[in-house]
Protein backbone atom coordinates (compact mmCIF):
# COMPACT_ATOMS: atom_id res chain seq x y z
CA UNK A 1 0.00 0.00 0.00
CA UNK A 2 1.55 3.26 -1.12
CA UNK A 3 0.93 6.54 0.67
CA UNK A 4 -0.42 9.55 -1.27
CA UNK A 5 2.89 11.36 -0.72
CA UNK A 6 6.27 10.82 0.91
CA UNK A 7 6.01 11.00 4.71
CA UNK A 8 8.83 11.55 7.17
CA UNK A 9 9.77 9.11 9.91
CA UNK A 10 8.73 11.74 12.46
CA UNK A 11 5.26 12.11 10.90
CA UNK A 12 4.62 8.37 10.92
CA UNK A 13 5.95 7.97 14.46
CA UNK A 14 3.52 10.63 15.69
CA UNK A 15 0.64 9.10 13.74
CA UNK A 16 0.97 5.67 15.38
CA UNK A 17 2.50 6.72 18.70
CA UNK A 18 5.78 4.84 18.21
CA UNK A 19 9.37 5.72 19.08
CA UNK A 20 11.57 6.37 16.07
CA UNK A 21 15.20 5.43 15.53
CA UNK A 22 16.79 7.28 12.64
CA UNK A 23 16.74 10.72 11.05
CA UNK A 24 13.46 12.55 11.68
CA UNK A 25 13.12 13.38 7.98
CA UNK A 26 13.82 9.81 6.83
CA UNK A 27 11.45 9.30 3.82
CA UNK A 28 8.66 6.70 3.86
CA UNK A 29 6.48 5.96 0.84
CA UNK A 30 4.23 3.08 1.97
CA UNK A 31 3.67 0.03 4.15
CA UNK A 32 3.58 -3.60 3.10
CA UNK A 33 3.80 -7.18 4.28
CA UNK A 34 7.15 -8.92 4.31
CA UNK A 35 6.67 -10.82 1.03
CA UNK A 36 5.99 -7.71 -1.07
CA UNK A 37 7.95 -4.94 0.64
CA UNK A 38 9.95 -2.50 -1.45
CA UNK A 39 12.44 0.24 -0.70
CA UNK A 40 10.63 3.04 1.11
CA UNK A 41 8.10 0.71 2.78
CA UNK A 42 7.34 0.00 6.43
CA UNK A 43 7.12 -3.67 7.42
CA UNK A 44 5.90 -4.85 10.82
CA UNK A 45 7.29 -7.72 12.88
CA UNK A 46 6.20 -8.81 16.35
CA UNK A 47 7.75 -12.26 16.79
CA UNK A 48 11.44 -13.07 17.45
CA UNK A 49 11.31 -15.83 14.83
CA UNK A 50 10.92 -13.21 12.09
CA UNK A 51 13.09 -10.35 13.42
CA UNK A 52 16.05 -11.10 11.16
CA UNK A 53 13.87 -11.63 8.11
CA UNK A 54 12.23 -8.23 8.58
CA UNK A 55 15.47 -6.41 9.37
CA UNK A 56 17.18 -7.91 6.31
CA UNK A 57 14.21 -7.39 3.97
CA UNK A 58 13.85 -4.72 1.29
CA UNK A 59 11.82 -2.64 3.73
CA UNK A 60 13.33 0.71 4.62
CA UNK A 61 11.55 1.02 7.97
CA UNK A 62 10.91 -1.80 10.43
CA UNK A 63 8.02 -1.49 12.88
CA UNK A 64 9.20 -3.77 15.68
CA UNK A 65 8.48 -4.53 19.35
CA UNK A 66 12.10 -4.75 20.49
CA UNK A 67 15.03 -2.35 20.68
CA UNK A 68 17.57 -3.69 18.19
CA UNK A 69 20.53 -2.33 16.28
CA UNK A 70 19.26 -0.37 13.31
CA UNK A 71 20.60 -1.71 9.98
CA UNK A 72 22.59 0.75 7.93
CA UNK A 73 20.45 2.82 5.57
CA UNK A 74 17.22 1.96 7.42
CA UNK A 75 15.11 3.29 10.29
CA UNK A 76 13.10 1.74 13.10
CA UNK A 77 9.73 2.37 14.70
CA UNK A 78 9.68 0.85 18.20
CA UNK A 79 6.20 -0.14 19.38
CA UNK A 80 4.79 -2.35 22.11
CA UNK A 81 2.25 -3.65 19.58
CA UNK A 82 3.33 -3.51 15.91
CA UNK A 83 0.22 -5.43 14.79
CA UNK A 84 -2.05 -2.77 16.28
CA UNK A 85 0.03 0.07 14.85
CA UNK A 86 0.13 -1.44 11.36
CA UNK A 87 -3.68 -1.42 11.54
CA UNK A 88 -3.53 2.28 12.44
CA UNK A 89 -1.68 2.92 9.18
CA UNK A 90 -4.28 1.02 7.15
CA UNK A 91 -7.15 2.88 8.84
CA UNK A 92 -5.50 6.23 8.20
CA UNK A 93 -4.41 5.75 4.59
CA UNK A 94 -7.16 3.43 3.36
CA UNK A 95 -10.24 3.95 5.56
CA UNK A 96 -13.52 2.12 4.95
CA UNK A 97 -15.90 4.12 2.75
CA UNK A 98 -19.66 3.62 2.92
CA UNK A 99 -21.31 2.79 -0.41
CA UNK A 100 -23.83 5.33 -1.69
CA UNK A 101 -25.44 3.15 -4.37
CA UNK A 102 -25.38 -0.34 -5.89
CA UNK A 103 -22.97 0.90 -8.55
CA UNK A 104 -20.68 3.60 -7.21
CA UNK A 105 -20.55 6.90 -9.04
CA UNK A 106 -16.74 6.63 -8.84
CA UNK A 107 -16.67 3.29 -10.71
CA UNK A 108 -15.38 3.29 -14.29
CA UNK A 109 -17.04 0.77 -16.63
CA UNK A 110 -15.72 0.18 -20.14
CA UNK A 111 -17.50 0.13 -23.48
CA UNK A 112 -19.81 -2.81 -24.28
CA UNK A 113 -19.56 -4.22 -20.77
CA UNK A 114 -22.81 -5.79 -19.53
CA UNK A 115 -23.79 -5.41 -15.89
CA UNK A 116 -26.70 -7.71 -14.99
CA UNK A 117 -29.26 -6.89 -12.25
CA UNK A 118 -28.37 -6.94 -8.53
CA UNK A 119 -24.64 -6.47 -9.07
CA UNK A 120 -22.77 -4.39 -6.47
CA UNK A 121 -19.78 -2.36 -7.68
CA UNK A 122 -17.86 -0.45 -5.02
CA UNK A 123 -15.90 2.77 -4.89
CA UNK A 124 -13.12 3.34 -7.44
CA UNK A 125 -13.67 0.01 -9.19
CA UNK A 126 -12.41 -0.13 -12.79
CA UNK A 127 -13.95 -2.62 -15.25
CA UNK A 128 -12.66 -2.89 -18.81
CA UNK A 129 -14.41 -3.37 -22.13
CA UNK A 130 -16.57 -6.29 -23.35
CA UNK A 131 -17.04 -7.83 -19.91
CA UNK A 132 -20.10 -9.67 -18.60
CA UNK A 133 -20.87 -9.37 -14.90
CA UNK A 134 -23.73 -11.74 -14.04
CA UNK A 135 -26.42 -11.19 -11.35
CA UNK A 136 -25.56 -10.96 -7.66
CA UNK A 137 -21.83 -10.46 -8.16
CA UNK A 138 -20.16 -8.26 -5.53
CA UNK A 139 -17.06 -6.26 -6.42
CA UNK A 140 -15.57 -4.44 -3.43
CA UNK A 141 -13.80 -1.07 -3.52
CA UNK A 142 -10.69 -0.48 -5.65
CA UNK A 143 -10.81 -3.73 -7.64
CA UNK A 144 -9.47 -3.54 -11.21
CA UNK A 145 -10.89 -5.83 -13.90
CA UNK A 146 -9.50 -6.04 -17.42
CA UNK A 147 -11.14 -6.54 -20.81
CA UNK A 148 -13.20 -9.55 -21.92
CA UNK A 149 -13.73 -10.82 -18.38
CA UNK A 150 -16.73 -12.98 -17.40
CA UNK A 151 -17.81 -13.21 -13.76
CA UNK A 152 -20.67 -15.57 -12.97
CA UNK A 153 -23.45 -15.20 -10.43
CA UNK A 154 -22.73 -14.94 -6.73
CA UNK A 155 -18.98 -14.45 -6.95
CA UNK A 156 -17.32 -11.98 -4.59
CA UNK A 157 -14.14 -10.04 -5.35
CA UNK A 158 -12.28 -8.11 -2.68
CA UNK A 159 -13.48 -9.47 0.67
CA UNK A 160 -11.05 -9.14 3.57
CA UNK A 161 -8.03 -11.35 4.12
CA UNK A 162 -8.33 -14.17 6.66
CA UNK A 163 -5.54 -12.88 8.89
CA UNK A 164 -5.78 -12.77 12.70
CA UNK A 165 -3.57 -12.45 15.74
CA UNK A 166 -4.51 -14.54 18.78
CA UNK A 167 -4.81 -12.51 21.95
CA UNK A 168 -6.01 -13.37 25.47
CA UNK A 169 -9.40 -11.76 24.81
CA UNK A 170 -9.81 -13.37 21.36
CA UNK A 171 -8.67 -12.95 17.76
CA UNK A 172 -7.57 -9.53 16.52
CA UNK A 173 -8.10 -8.85 12.82
CA UNK A 174 -5.35 -7.49 10.57
CA UNK A 175 -7.14 -4.92 8.44
CA UNK A 176 -7.02 -5.34 4.67
CA UNK A 177 -5.86 -2.36 2.64
CA UNK A 178 -5.07 -4.08 -0.65
CA UNK A 179 -7.19 -4.97 -3.66
CA UNK A 180 -7.89 -7.50 -6.42
CA UNK A 181 -6.61 -7.27 -9.99
CA UNK A 182 -8.20 -9.40 -12.71
CA UNK A 183 -6.38 -9.19 -16.04
CA UNK A 184 -7.80 -9.63 -19.57
CA UNK A 185 -9.68 -12.72 -20.80
CA UNK A 186 -10.25 -14.24 -17.36
CA UNK A 187 -13.38 -16.32 -16.63
CA UNK A 188 -14.58 -16.63 -13.03
CA UNK A 189 -17.26 -19.19 -12.25
CA UNK A 190 -20.26 -18.94 -9.93
CA UNK A 191 -19.86 -18.57 -6.14
CA UNK A 192 -16.12 -17.92 -6.24
CA UNK A 193 -14.42 -15.79 -3.59
CA UNK A 194 -11.23 -13.86 -4.22
CA UNK A 195 -9.88 -12.02 -1.17
CA UNK A 196 -8.06 -8.73 -1.48
CA UNK A 197 -4.49 -8.30 -0.35
CA UNK A 198 -3.58 -7.17 3.14
CA UNK A 199 -1.43 -4.36 1.77
CA UNK A 200 -0.85 -5.41 -1.85
CA UNK A 201 -2.96 -7.03 -4.55
CA UNK A 202 -4.39 -10.46 -5.17
CA UNK A 203 -3.85 -10.97 -8.90
CA UNK A 204 -5.36 -13.26 -11.53
CA UNK A 205 -3.36 -12.95 -14.72
CA UNK A 206 -4.63 -12.97 -18.29
CA UNK A 207 -6.31 -15.99 -19.83
CA UNK A 208 -6.87 -17.92 -16.60
CA UNK A 209 -10.15 -19.83 -16.22
CA UNK A 210 -11.67 -20.49 -12.80
CA UNK A 211 -14.51 -22.96 -12.17
CA UNK A 212 -17.36 -22.57 -9.67
CA UNK A 213 -16.86 -22.45 -5.88
CA UNK A 214 -13.15 -21.64 -5.82
CA UNK A 215 -11.53 -19.71 -2.94
CA UNK A 216 -8.38 -17.65 -3.54
CA UNK A 217 -6.66 -16.13 -0.50
CA UNK A 218 -5.09 -12.73 0.08
CA UNK A 219 -2.04 -11.55 -1.87
CA UNK A 220 -1.97 -14.71 -3.99
CA UNK A 221 -0.82 -14.43 -7.60
CA UNK A 222 -2.33 -16.76 -10.20
CA UNK A 223 -0.35 -16.84 -13.45
CA UNK A 224 -1.43 -16.73 -17.08
CA UNK A 225 -3.60 -19.42 -18.71
CA UNK A 226 -4.17 -21.47 -15.58
CA UNK A 227 -7.12 -23.83 -15.11
CA UNK A 228 -8.58 -24.10 -11.61
CA UNK A 229 -11.41 -26.58 -11.08
CA UNK A 230 -14.32 -26.51 -8.65
CA UNK A 231 -13.95 -26.46 -4.85
CA UNK A 232 -10.25 -25.68 -4.95
CA UNK A 233 -8.95 -23.61 -2.05
CA UNK A 234 -5.76 -21.60 -2.51
CA UNK A 235 -4.35 -20.01 0.65
CA UNK A 236 -2.87 -16.55 1.01
CA UNK A 237 0.49 -15.46 -0.38
CA UNK A 238 0.70 -18.34 -2.87
CA UNK A 239 2.35 -17.98 -6.29
CA UNK A 240 0.82 -20.14 -9.01
CA UNK A 241 2.96 -19.77 -12.10
CA UNK A 242 1.68 -19.81 -15.71
CA UNK A 243 -0.27 -22.71 -17.25
CA UNK A 244 -0.85 -24.61 -14.01
CA UNK A 245 -3.86 -26.95 -13.85
CA UNK A 246 -5.48 -27.60 -10.47
CA UNK A 247 -8.25 -30.18 -10.48
CA UNK A 248 -11.21 -30.29 -8.12
CA UNK A 249 -10.97 -30.08 -4.34
CA UNK A 250 -7.29 -29.21 -4.34
CA UNK A 251 -6.04 -27.31 -1.30
CA UNK A 252 -2.79 -25.49 -0.57
CA UNK A 253 -0.74 -24.19 2.32
CA UNK A 254 0.10 -20.49 2.38
CA UNK A 255 3.33 -19.00 1.10
CA UNK A 256 4.21 -21.70 -1.42
CA UNK A 257 5.00 -21.62 -5.15
CA UNK A 258 3.60 -23.98 -7.78
CA UNK A 259 5.86 -24.06 -10.83
CA UNK A 260 4.91 -23.37 -14.43
CA UNK A 261 2.98 -26.11 -16.20
CA UNK A 262 2.40 -28.25 -13.11
CA UNK A 263 -0.75 -30.38 -12.90
CA UNK A 264 -2.34 -31.00 -9.49
CA UNK A 265 -4.75 -33.94 -9.47
CA UNK A 266 -8.05 -33.81 -7.59
CA UNK A 267 -8.20 -33.85 -3.77
CA UNK A 268 -4.49 -33.16 -3.44
CA UNK A 269 -3.15 -31.27 -0.42
CA UNK A 270 -0.30 -29.08 -1.63
CA UNK A 271 1.78 -28.75 1.52
CA UNK A 272 5.00 -27.45 -0.05
CA UNK A 273 6.34 -25.67 -3.12
CA UNK A 274 6.32 -27.75 -6.32
CA UNK A 275 8.48 -27.74 -9.43
CA UNK A 276 6.86 -27.02 -12.75
CA UNK A 277 6.15 -29.43 -15.59
CA UNK A 278 5.16 -32.38 -13.40
CA UNK A 279 1.93 -34.03 -12.22
CA UNK A 280 1.24 -34.29 -8.49
CA UNK A 281 -1.20 -36.15 -6.25
CA UNK A 282 -1.96 -36.96 -2.63
CA UNK A 283 -1.59 -35.60 0.89
CA UNK A 284 1.20 -34.99 1.65
CA UNK A 285 1.75 -34.18 -2.01
CA UNK A 286 4.23 -36.02 -4.24
CA UNK A 287 4.66 -36.82 -7.93
CA UNK A 288 1.57 -38.75 -8.99
CA UNK A 289 3.33 -41.86 -10.35
CA UNK A 290 5.33 -42.25 -7.15
CA UNK A 291 2.29 -41.65 -4.97
CA UNK A 292 0.05 -44.07 -6.85
CA UNK A 293 2.81 -46.70 -6.80
CA UNK A 294 3.12 -46.32 -3.03
CA UNK A 295 -0.64 -46.74 -2.65
CA UNK A 296 -0.56 -49.91 -4.74
CA UNK A 297 2.30 -51.33 -2.64
CA UNK A 298 0.43 -50.59 0.60
CA UNK A 299 -2.63 -52.32 -0.80
CA UNK A 300 -0.54 -55.40 -1.58
CA UNK A 301 0.94 -55.43 1.95
CA UNK A 302 -2.56 -55.35 3.43
CA UNK A 303 -3.64 -58.26 1.23
CA UNK A 304 -0.63 -60.26 2.31
Residues 151 and 41 in one domain: no
35 counts as catalytic: no
Residues 174 and 278 in one domain: yes
- Three-state secondary structure string covering the chain: CEEEEEEEHHHHHHHHCCEEECCCCCEEEEECCHHHCCCCEEEEECCHHHHHHHHCCCCCEEEECCCCCCCCCCEEEECCCHHHHHHHHHHHHCCCCCCCCCECCCCEECCCCEECCCCEECCCCEECCCCEECCCCEECCCCEECCCCEECCCCEEEECCCCEEEECCEEEECCCCCEEEECCCCEECCCCEEECCCCCEEEECCCCEECCCCEECCCCEECCCCEECCCCEECCCCEECCCCEECCCCEECCCCEECCCCEECCCCEECCCECCCCEEECCCCEEHHHHHHHHHHHHHHHHC
> What does the alpha-carbon distance between residue 154 and residue 36 come to, in Å, rounded to a whole number?
30
| % of the chain exceeding 70 in pLDDT | 100
Residues 37 and 122 in one domain: no
**Residue 291 scores a pLDDT above 90:** no
Residue 242 lies in a domain: yes
Residues 112 and 247 in one domain: yes
Mean pLDDT over 200-222 rounds to 97
Residue 99 lies in a domain: no
pLDDT of residue 294: 85
Going from the C-alpha of 143 to that of each of 119, 166, 200, the distances in angstroms are 14, 29, 12
Mean pLDDT over 31-50 rounds to 93
Residues 36 and 151 in one domain: no
Residues 170 and 141 in one domain: yes
Mean pLDDT over 136-155 rounds to 98
Residue 98 lies in a domain: no
Write b or e for each residue in 122-151: b if 16 or more Cβ atoms lie within 10 A of its Cβ, otherwise e: bbebbbbebbbbbebbbbbbbbbbbbbbbb
Last residue of a domain, one of 69, 93, 117: 93
**Residue 221 scores a pLDDT above 70:** yes
Residues 156 and 267 in one domain: yes
pLDDT of residue 201: 96
Average pLDDT for the chain: 96
Residue 103 lies in a domain: no
* Cβ proximity of 285 and 271 under 8 Å: yes
- Three-state secondary structure string covering 196-264: CCCCCEEEECCCCEECCCCEECCCCEECCCCEECCCCEECCCCEECCCCEECCCCEECCCCEECCCCEE
pTM: 0.93
Residues 149 and 286 in one domain: yes
For residue 119, what are the domain limits?
Answer: 108-291
> What does the alpha-carbon distance between residue 205 and residue 182 come to, in Å, rounded to a whole number?
6
pLDDT of residue 304: 66
* Cβ proximity of 179 and 197 under 8 Å: yes
The reply to whether omega before 284 is within 30° of 0 (cis) is: yes
Q: Pick the more confident residue, 108 or 297.
A: 108
Mean pLDDT over 138-144 rounds to 98
pLDDT of residue 263: 98
Confidence of residue 302 (pLDDT cuts 50, 70, 90): confident
CATH number assigned to the domain comprising residue 158: 2.160.10.10
Amino acid sequence: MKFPRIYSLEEIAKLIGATSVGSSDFPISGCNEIHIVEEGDIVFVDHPKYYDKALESKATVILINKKVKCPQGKALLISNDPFRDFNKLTKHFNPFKIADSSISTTAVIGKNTIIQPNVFIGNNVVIGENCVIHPNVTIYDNCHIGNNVIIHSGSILGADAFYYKKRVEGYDKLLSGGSVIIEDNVDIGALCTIDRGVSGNTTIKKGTKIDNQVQIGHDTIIGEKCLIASQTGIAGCVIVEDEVTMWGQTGTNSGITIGKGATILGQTGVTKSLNGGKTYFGTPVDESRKKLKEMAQIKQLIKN
